[in-house]
C-alpha cells in the first residue's frame, strides 16, 4: 500500500509513467489508468516498445483505461442524470472528484468469484496538474487522492502512482499546494528535473529519488539519491552525476 509521487520540473517526466505502466502490467497486477493527457494509442505505442500490449491487457480485463481526452467530450453529450467520472467538467461551481473516485473504486474492486486472477491493484494517474488547469481546486485534488489512498492503498493494499508537474518559478500556488500536500503523503518521490545548465543531447535530465516513510523512522542514509539519465528508444540509461559516457 504505497503512494509513489512522480514529479517533473523543466522537463518531461512521462517516461516514468510509461515505465510504471509496463512494469505493473508485466507484474500481473490489475491496473486502473486514468490517462488525462494522451490518447490510448500513444500509450499503446510506447507500451509496445517496452514489451506490453495495452490492447490485450484491456481486453482481458487486466487494464481499465479511462481515456480522459475522449470521455471528457462525452460528458457534454450525455444525459445529465447519468453519472460520469469527469462530471466536474460540467458543474458550474467548484466540483469534487467523487464520481471519478467511485469509478476507480468500482474498477479495482476485487472480483466477486473469489479467484485471484491478478495480484494487488494499482492506480496510475497521468496527470493531476491537468485537473487544476480544468478548474478543480487543489484541495479537491488532495481529497480525491486521499480517498484513492483509502480505497486502493489501505483497503486493498494496492499501490498508487501519480504524476504532478512542478511549476517551478511560475508560482502557481494551487499546484504547489497539490504537489506539497501529496509529497507529504507519499512513500517515494521520484523527481525528474532538467539540467541546471540547459538542454543537452546526451544527458536528458536528472532524477532525484527521495524515500519517505510518513510514519516510521527510516535509516538516515540512503534516503535520497540523484542520478542523471538519457532516454533511449526502448529504455533509459542511468548514470552517476558527471559520469555520462559522452562526457568521459
Interface with another protein by CB under 8 A: which residues? 96, 98, 101, 139, 142-143, 146-147, 150, 154, 176-177, 180-181, 183-185, 189, 210, 212-217, 220-223, 239-240, 243, 245, 248
Shortest distance in whole angstroms from residue 181 CB to another protein: 6
Q: How far apart are CA 127 and CA 218, in angstroms?
A: 29
Nearer to another protein among residue 73 and residue 240 (C-beta) = 240
Shortest distance in whole angstroms from residue 38 CB to another protein: 28
Nearer to another protein among residue 119 and residue 157 (C-beta) = 157
Nearer to another protein among residue 73 and residue 243 (C-beta) = 243
Nearer to another protein among residue 76 and residue 154 (C-beta) = 154
Shortest distance in whole angstroms from residue 69 CB to another protein: 26
Q: Which of 29, 109, 110, 104 is nearest to 65 (CA)?
A: 104
Shortest distance in whole angstroms from residue 177 CB to another protein: 6
Shortest distance in whole angstroms from residue 219 CB to another protein: 9
Q: What is the 3-state secondary structure (H, E, C) of the chain?
A: CCEEEEEEECCCCHHHHHHHHHHHHHCCEEEEEEECCCCHHHHHHHHHHCCCCHHHHHHCCCEEEEEHHHHHHHHHHCCCCCCCCCHHHCCCCCCCCHHHHHHHHHHCCCCCCCCCCCEEEEEEEECCHHHHHCCCCHHHHHHHHHHHHHHHHHHCCCEEEEEEECCHHHCCHHHHHHHHHHHHHCCEEEEEECCCCCCCCCCCEEEEEEECCCCCCCCCCCCEEEEEEEECCCCEEEECCCCCCCCC
195's grid cell: 539540467
Nearer to another protein among residue 4 and residue 96 (C-beta) = 96
Shortest distance in whole angstroms from residue 87 CB to another protein: 14
Nearer to another protein among residue 57 and residue 189 (C-beta) = 189
Amino acid at each position: 500500500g504505497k503512494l509513489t509521487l512522480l514529479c517533473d520540473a523543466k522537463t518531461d517526466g512521462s517516461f516514468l509513467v510509461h515505465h510504471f505502466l509496463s512494469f505493473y502490467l508485466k507484474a500481473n497486477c490489475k491496473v486502473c489508468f486514468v490517462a488525462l493527457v494522451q490518447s490510448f494509442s500513444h500509450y499503446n505505442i510506447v507500451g509496445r516498445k517496452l514489451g506490453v500490449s495495452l490492447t490485450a491487457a484491456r481486453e482481458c480485463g487486466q487494464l481499465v483505461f479511462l481515456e480522459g481526452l475522449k470521455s471528457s467530450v462525452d460528458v457534454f453529450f450525455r444525459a445529465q442524470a447519468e453519472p460520469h467520472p469527469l462530471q466536474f467538467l460540467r458543474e458550474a461551481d467548484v466540483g469534487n472528484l467523487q464520481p471519478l473516485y467511485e469509478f476507480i473504486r468500482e474498477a479495482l474492486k476485487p472480483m466477486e468469484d473469489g479467484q485471484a486472477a491478478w495480484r494487488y491493484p494499482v492506480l496510475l494517474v497521468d496527470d493531476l496538474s491537468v485537473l487544476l488547469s480544468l478548474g478543480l481546486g487543489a484541495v479537491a485534488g488532495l481529497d480525491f487522492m486521499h480517498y484513492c489512498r483509502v480505497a486502493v492503498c489501505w483497503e486493498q493494499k494496492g499501490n498508487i502512482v501519480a504524476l504532478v508537474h512542478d511549476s517551478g518559478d511560475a508560482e502557481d500556488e494551487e499546484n504547489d499546494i497539490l504537489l506539497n500536500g501529496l509529497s507529504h503523503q507519499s512513500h517515494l518521490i521520484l523527481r525528474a528535473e532538467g539540467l541546471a545548465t540547459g538542454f543537452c543531447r546526451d544527458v536528458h535530465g536528472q532524477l532525484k529519488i527521495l524515500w519517505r516513510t510518513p510514519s516510521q523512522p527510516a535509516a538516515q542514509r540512503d534516503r535520497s539519491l540523484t542520478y542523471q539519465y538519457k532516454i533511449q528508444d526502448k529504455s533509459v540509461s542511468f548514470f552517476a552525476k558527471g559520469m555520462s559516457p559522452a562526457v568521459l
